[in-house]
Every structure is written in structure tokens, then in C-alpha cells.
Chains A and B, each alone.
Chain A
């Protein structure tokens, strides 16, 4: 149990940030993290070292969070269709608002990335993992991570440039 607690203390912040970024909900992020740790304990899983357990947990939480986000997105679209709501963003002339919009534009652009590029960037920026750790968590090579992070950044810059954001 002491070992489990140590693992929890080390890995929880990473998992929570990643899950929160993907789901945009603290409650959902808490639930997903709790489920992942519970599964690990319940199944009595053993790993050669703490890092391997960390990669397993990241993988589980990442997948669960992506599934959650997809489900929520489907629900949201269904409600929008049902209520025929108009969700177009209203334009304002305020610079402050535009700056906030710019920040949101980055995140919206991020959501438009393909999943394989989005996941590596989330783990890099929110999980604060290095290339090697991301590679181990996703089961891909370090070189592959390097390429995906680069492509994700380039794609984001391009998307934001098209939308007229403040990133040039």
C-alpha cells in the first residue's frame, strides 16, 4: 500500500493535468484518475519499475479521457440539433476580448488536430513528459514522438494563421 501511495503521489498530477486538458472538466478528470488507479490496484498489476506503471496509467487515462471527450461532443451536437441553437461566436472590437479569443483559438485549433498529433502535444505540454516518456506511454519510438510534436506545432501555427489569430 505504501508503494501504491508513492506511485499515486508522483503520477496523479500528470494524469490530472492531461485528463483535465482533454475533458475540460475537473470532475471528469478526477473520476478518470480514480478509475485508473483503482484498476491498477484491483488487478494486482505488477511492473518492473515505477516508470512502467506511470506509462500504463498515462495510457489508460489518456484513452479514457479521449473517449469521454468524444462522447460529450456527440451529446453536445445532439442537444444543439435538438434545440436548434446558434453557436456562432460573436465578434467584438475589444482588444482584450480578442486576446482571450486568441488563447481560445489555440485550443480550438488543437481540438481540430488529428488524434495522433494532438495526444503527443497534450502529453508534452500538459503532462510535462519528455520525448522518451511520451514514446513509452504511447508505445512509439522517440523519433516518432519528435516528428509528431513538430508536425502538431506546425499544424497549429498554420490553423491559427488561417483564422487570423495573433500568431504569425
Chain B
């Protein structure tokens, strides 16, 4: 009974270990089918290792596709090029860190500036505005306490007369909010005019 064909392939490659190799050889010597199969494998290998073109024929030796001479030529040529490339790429002697020029791509630099500006606005902006608002409200609240309301104009006049013009106090009620109209008459003046015209 013939062995598996795969064993013949392994034998052809010289990779069949010892006890099996001898057994297979003994079988093949008596079996024409296995001999034929082995010869097929041999022809496949020979066909693959044959010269690629007729021009190559003269220069080739043995079972190698490339002649040893040409292989050696290629080897020294490639080494020469390789050596040159490696030397060209060898890094220059190290430079001190602070003297080393730093190159940043323009988009990266712009992005960095934008990030810094955004962070500055985020941290500094609201705090500053908040501080100003708090200050204004606190000052007004503390001074206005206990004063006669402006709406009671006659009361104010009486108060001023009772002070005998010795004090120079004029109190004007400020609007409820501080959102002044940027153009035109300030509402603070109009409120005072309106109060005065209606007073008598």
C-alpha cells in the first residue's frame, strides 16, 4: 500500500526524519506509482529553477536562478548604496537644548494662540464684570438708606427748607436697572425733568 503523497513531498524536500525516510526509500524502490510521483515533483522543481530567459542561460550555474557572479555583484552594489544611505542619515552631534531651533507649523501656532485666548476669556472675563456690578450696587444701597423718597416732592422741598440751605444735598433716584440706552437722552435726566414739571 502506497504512503500518503504528502510524505513523498516531504521526502522530496529532504525533511522526512530517519526511520521513515529509510522505510519510504525501500517502498519507492519497488513502487512505480510512487517513483512516477517523485519524478513529477522533481520536474516541477527543475522547471521552477530553470533559467527565466534564454539570455540568462549562459550565465547561470547549478540550481540557482541567479549566477553566483551576478549575485556577488548585486551584493557589493547594494552594500555600497546601503552604506552611503546609512552614513547620510547618521545624526549630527547633539546640540544644547536651549540653542536648538524649534519649528512649529503655522496651523499649530494659530491653534495654540486661539486656545490661549479662549482660556483667558473664559477665566478672566466673567470675574471682572461681576466685580464691577457688585461694587456699584453695594455703594448705592449703603448711601440711599433712610432718605426721603423722590416721588414725594413736596416732602423733599420741606426737608430742604428745614435744613435751612445749610446742606447741599441733591438726591436723584437712579433707575431700577443700569441698562442705559447708548444713544439719546439718558433716562436719568428725563426722570428728573418729569418730576420737576409735575411738582408745582
Contacts and interface: CB of A to CB of B under 8 A. Distances in A.
Nearest to B76: A12
B40 interface: yes
For the residues of B in contact with A, the DSSP-based class is helix
A150 B16 CA distance: 13
Contacts of A30: 74, 77-78
Interface in B36-69: 36, 40-41, 43-45, 47-52, 54, 64-66
Interface string B72-103: 00110111011001100100000000000000
Chain B interface bracket (under 10, 10 to 19, 20 to 34, 35 or more): 35 or more
Interface residues of A, number: 44
Interface string A4-47: 01001100110011001100101001100110011001100000
B9 A34 contact: no
Given A131-B13, A147-B6, A153 B82 contact: no
A16 B13 contact: no
A37 B74 contact: no
Q: Shortest 4 CB-CB distances between A and B: which pairs?
A: A106-B47, A103-B50, A150-B9, A150-B6
Interface of A: 5, 8-9, 12-13, 16-17, 20-21, 24, 26, 29-30, 33-34, 37-38, 41-42, 100, 102-103, 105-107, 110, 121, 124-126, 130-131, 146-147, 149-150, 153-154, 156-157, 160, 166-168
